Amino acid sequence: MDLPGSEVRNKFDEIQTGIFRAIDFLKDELNVFSLKLLPMENILAVLSSFFSSPQKQPPPVPQEQYQAIKKWFWRACFSKRYARGASKSTDLDLAEVKKLKTGQPHQLESFDISLDTSFFLKNYFRMNSVATRTFILLLAQGKPLNFIQGTNISLKNVLAQGNRKEFHHIFPKSYLQNLEKYKDDEINCLANFALLSRSDNNKIKNKQPSKYRIEMPDCEESFQQIISTHFCPANAFIDDDYDSFLVSRSELLLNKASELCDLRQD
């Protein structure tokens, strides 16, 4: 607000370039096809600063800078970095991203982050939450295949809508409710959700995994390929043990999250 109007106007083209390049980066590298799925809006400000340029055709970003900005993105999302104290954290990251951009020593992605399976077990699926949006982008990293058909899911078409319709329970909600054993938060936790086509979900309906397994490919290799793209354990389709499934899947999801955040796991 303290900047002269003339200085702001002179930066319009540079800022516009930064915003457009940031949006391309989000789409191409992170499968963010809608702002509805961007976990926190402050992310766009930091990315726009990084990608801003006075040149109409800026040179390619060095690979090491690309890797640093992606690591920062995932760490910011999983730590909910801008959920509280957003202004302070944003100012810090804007300062550090400028250092990264100019090749100076930086601490952009070096903030503390604590991540364990509770992220997927204690957060429930709610489209307007940071945790759910981060989880969705994590699922997209697996390039998921349709459960029944084994065909590719068009992430661009599905995620551009930014709604809940293509996300379904692996252990159907009605099946778990009929067991009268689990609370809604346990049924609707992130670890029980996958990206499924509506046609596949209609075939599954309220069947437990061992029942709808027969709808999936008979070939064990194809079956394993499908569930691996969803970070889903095979034990879900054997004994219908929901508690065991949650433990196994949350660990698989944590492994992928730790890889994206570049966190070492014991």
* Residues of the domain holding 174: 118-261
Q: How far apart are CA 80 and CA 86, in angstroms?
A: 10
Spatial neighbors of 145 by CB under 8 A, at least 6 apart, are 151, 152, 153, 225, 226, 229, 230
pLDDT at res. 266: 39
Q: Residues 144, 65: one domain?
A: no
Q: Residues 242, 171: one domain?
A: yes
204: Cα within 13 Å, side-chain hemisphere: 25
Q: Residues 38, 82: one domain?
A: yes
pLDDT at res. 212: 93
Q: Residues 141, 73: one domain?
A: no
- 13: number of Cβ within 10 Å: 14
Question: What is the chain's pLDDT, residue by residue, as a tens digit (266 residues)?
Answer: 676 777 777 788 888 999 999 999 999 999 999 988 999 999 999 999 999 998 878 888 999 999 999 999 999 999 999 987 568 899 999 999 999 999 999 999 988 899 999 999 999 999 999 999 999 999 999 999 999 889 998 888 888 876 677 799 999 999 999 999 999 999 999 999 999 887 888 888 889 999 999 999 999 999 999 999 999 999 899 989 999 999 999 999 999 999 999 987 53
* Domain closes at, from 74, 101, 128: 101
Q: Residues 251, 181: one domain?
A: yes
The candidate with the shortest Cα–Cα distance to 234, out of 215, 210, 258, is 210
Q: Residues 124, 255: one domain?
A: yes
238 within a domain of the structure (yes/no): yes
* Domain closes at, from 42, 68, 101: 101
**Torsion-angle region of 172 (φ positive above 0: left; ψ -120 to 50: alpha; else: beta):** beta
Q: Residues 190, 83: one domain?
A: no
pLDDT at res. 80: 93
215 within a domain of the structure (yes/no): yes
pLDDT at res. 163: 67
Q: How far apart are CA 61 and CA 100, in angstroms?
A: 11
Task: Please give the model's pTM, rounded to 2 decimal places.
Answer: 0.92
169 within a domain of the structure (yes/no): yes
Q: Residues 145, 253: one domain?
A: yes
Q: How far apart are CA 31 and CA 169, in angstroms?
A: 22
Q: How far apart are CA 25 and CA 90, in angstroms?
A: 19
Spatial neighbors of 99 by CB under 8 A, at least 6 apart, are 105, 106, 108
94 within a domain of the structure (yes/no): yes
Q: Residues 147, 230: one domain?
A: yes
Q: Residues 85, 17: one domain?
A: yes
Q: Residues 122, 254: one domain?
A: yes
The candidate with the shortest Cα–Cα distance to 11, out of 30, 107, 62, 19, is 19
pLDDT at res. 2: 74
Our count of domains for the chain comes to 2
71 within a domain of the structure (yes/no): yes
Q: Residues 185, 134: one domain?
A: yes
